[in-house]
Amino acid sequence: MPISKISFIRSTVLALLVGLAALLLIVGVSLWLVDQTRIYSDTITSSRLQRSAIADLRNMLADAETGQRGYLLTGNPAYLEPYENATRTLADQLEKVRRLTANDPNQKAAADRLSSIVTDKLAELKKTVDLWNANQHAEAIAEVEGNRGKALMDEARKIFDEMVESAERKISASVEDQQESISALRWVTIGGALVIVLVIGGAVWTVLLYTKQLVEAQREVQALNAGLEDRVRERTADLGRANEEIQRFAYIVTHDLRAPLVNIMGFTSELEGSLAPINAYIGRSDEASDDAVVKDARTAVIEDLPEAIGFIRSSTHKMDGLINAILKLSREGRRVLKPEPIELESLLKTAAANVQHQVVEAGGDVSFEGYVPPVVSDRLALEQVFGNLFDNAIKYRASNRPLHIKVRTREDLGKRIVIEVEDNGRGIAKQDHERVFDLFRRSGAQDRPGEGIGLAHVRSVMRNLGGDISLKSELELGTTITLSLPRDLRSIIGAL
């Protein structure tokens, strides 16, 4: 019986849910058991450290007593060395034992008792040694024979033995618990793995059945898609032709706009030239005349007409600049790219040399970092891009500091080249980072000449080259323009 799409989806989802539940169970139990194992391991480690520290303290105390007894028996100062070494480190070792047993109430109580005993024992040892050093040998021997030191040492050994035994019991119990956790983790993993294997087996069986049904459908799709690549190429060619038509239309429109603009500019010049005889005529009239018509004519000729002509000239100049910009973009879009090997470092340094005199006038410099192998791209397009970026860095430099331009190049993933052009100019506000790439849009104070086409032109050129452009900038901190280029333009042209 054929498996319907709904049945396939339901069985697949069910299998996934069962497998997910099994996996979550394994993960959850495993995490809990691992955490338990960690706790047991920490307990074992802590107990072993306790045992080791207690044994070291016991040995130090025994060394101190041995050194004292040897000295008192022989009078040889050499026996004082183990005594002195032990007494120097006993206090630190005792503090270490107290620190390691701080979280164990029983061990902590024993450590507190032991601290008092060790203190008394050290005092007893020191007293006998001091008496011997003071040539009071009989008194020193009498102090030893009083058996107070032996009683303290016996009590200390008893506490040492109890503490070591307690630590060993904890170690043994934790090792057993750890083994049980490991065994439980093993069985949970095996059980969960069996469930997952069963789920995968069922899912594979369902997929195989459903795949058989898809084979015929895929054959039909392949037959339908046999001519798909041809259709895609046709559509791509259509889009290319449409793009060329748009560029041609933009060129024709801007070219046709120039004719009436030239007429307007010409007639404006004639109007401006006509003002001279009109001014002369008005000037011969009686300035003191009370005739309102004469006063209005004088105001119109002297004030209104020159102002209006000035506005017309300003607008026509601006419109002429915009038309030139559109024509420039249109011509660039219709230009055929010519890939050729280019030494990028040489091209960048040439572009910088072209504006070196302006950089020097600004009291600045241009530096270069990094090296990339030769690229295959369009030389004219890259010269336009870098020339525009250097011009912008100079044009929008900060007035209160020397200009510094840094150019960094490096290789990137995907056989691409990254070029960064960084300046310390006046920067661009965050809200204008994308706006400056729009045609006829500018950022910041409009105190520099321009039509707002520079970065728009650069982005258009970069995209034609198969690359991209982005920027990072902060006001008064400068701007970094990042360019990304393919190492070989021919691969991009071939894909279009």
Task: Give 19-74 pLDDT, tens digit per residue.
Answer: 777 778 777 777 777 777 778 777 788 788 888 888 888 888 888 888 888 888 78
- Assess if residue 327 is contained within a domain: yes
380 has pLDDT over 50? yes
The per-residue pLDDT for 232 is 47
Same domain, 73 and 162: yes
Same domain, 378 and 280: no
- Report how far residue 259's alpha carbon sits from residue 245's, in angstroms, rounded to the nearest whole number: 22
Same domain, 397 and 483: yes
Number of domains in the chain: 3
| 137-153 pLDDT, tens digit each | 888 888 777 788 788 88
233 has pLDDT over 60? no
The per-residue pLDDT for 495 is 47
Percent share of the chain, pLDDT over 70: 74
346 has pLDDT over 70? yes
Same domain, 82 and 175: yes
181: CATH: 1.20.120.30
Q: Are 404 and 423 in contact (CB under 8 A)?
A: yes
The per-residue pLDDT for 376 is 92
- Report how far residue 11's alpha carbon sits from residue 15's, in angstroms, rounded to the nearest whole number: 6
The per-residue pLDDT for 485 is 92
Same domain, 65 and 155: yes
Which residue, 474, 438, 432, is CA-closest to 453?
Answer: 438
- Assess if residue 295 is contained within a domain: yes
- Assess if residue 154 is contained within a domain: yes
Same domain, 37 and 60: yes
Worst-scoring range by mean pLDDT, 187-191, 204-208, 433-437? 204-208
In 285-373, which residue ranges form alpha helices assigned H by DSSP?
292-299, 305-334, 344-354, 356-361
Give the pLDDT band (50/70/90) at residue 4: low
- Assess if residue 404 is contained within a domain: yes
428 has pLDDT over 70? yes
The per-residue pLDDT for 382 is 92
Give 4's DSSP letter.
P
192 has pLDDT over 60? yes
- Assess if residue 400 is contained within a domain: yes
Same domain, 315 and 349: no
Which residue, 394, 383, 392, 380, is CA-closest to 450?
Answer: 392
Both tokens assigned to 214: 């898809």
Residue after which a domain boundary falls, among 210, 245, 266: 210
Worst-scoring range by mean pLDDT, 38-42, 400-404, 417-421? 38-42
The per-residue pLDDT for 406 is 94
Residue after which a domain boundary falls, among 168, 183, 210: 210
- Assess if residue 158 is contained within a domain: yes
The per-residue pLDDT for 79 is 77
Compute the average pLDDT of residues 425-430. Answer: 87
Dihedral sign, Cα of residue 136, residue 140, residue 143, residue 149: positive
The per-residue pLDDT for 366 is 93
The per-residue pLDDT for 496 is 47
- Report how far residue 333's alpha carbon sits from residue 341's, in angstroms, rounded to the nearest whole number: 22
327 has pLDDT over 90? no
Query: What mean pLDDT value characterizes the chain?
Result: 78
User: β-pairing, 339-342 with 478-486?
Assistant: unpaired
Give the pLDDT band (50/70/90) at residue 489: confident
Compute the average pLDDT of residues 229-248. Answer: 55
188 has pLDDT over 90? no
CB atoms within 10 A of CB 302: 15
Q: Are 422 and 478 in contact (CB under 8 A)?
A: yes
| 307-320 pLDDT, tens digit each | 777 767 766 766 66
Q: How far is CA 7 from the centre of its chain?
A: 45
Same domain, 37 and 145: yes
Same domain, 104 and 49: yes
445 has pLDDT over 70? no
Same domain, 311 and 392: no
- Assess if residue 133 is contained within a domain: yes
Highest-confidence segment of 217-221, 247-251, 255-259: 217-221
381: CATH: 3.30.565.10
- Assess if residue 441 is contained within a domain: yes
Domain that holds residue 404: 339-495
Compute the average pLDDT of residues 256-280. Answer: 69
122 has pLDDT over 70? yes
Worst-scoring range by mean pLDDT, 121-135, 156-170, 195-209? 195-209
- Report how far residue 243's alpha carbon sits from residue 235's, in angstroms, rounded to the nearest whole number: 12
Compute the average pLDDT of residues 273-298. Answer: 65
Worst-scoring range by mean pLDDT, 339-343, 468-472, 474-478? 474-478
**Tokens 């071939």 — which residue?**
494
Both tokens assigned to 193: 């793995």
Is 436 exposed, middle or buried, given 0-12, 13-18 or 19+ CB atoms closer than 10 A?
Answer: buried
Give the pLDDT band (50/70/90) at residue 238: low
295 has pLDDT over 80? no
The per-residue pLDDT for 226 is 62
The per-residue pLDDT for 239 is 47
Residue scoring higher pLDDT (135 or 300): 135
186 has pLDDT over 70? yes
Same domain, 422 and 294: no
| Rg over CA atoms, the chain | 47
Residue after which a domain boundary falls, among 310, 334, 358: 334
Same domain, 237 and 324: yes
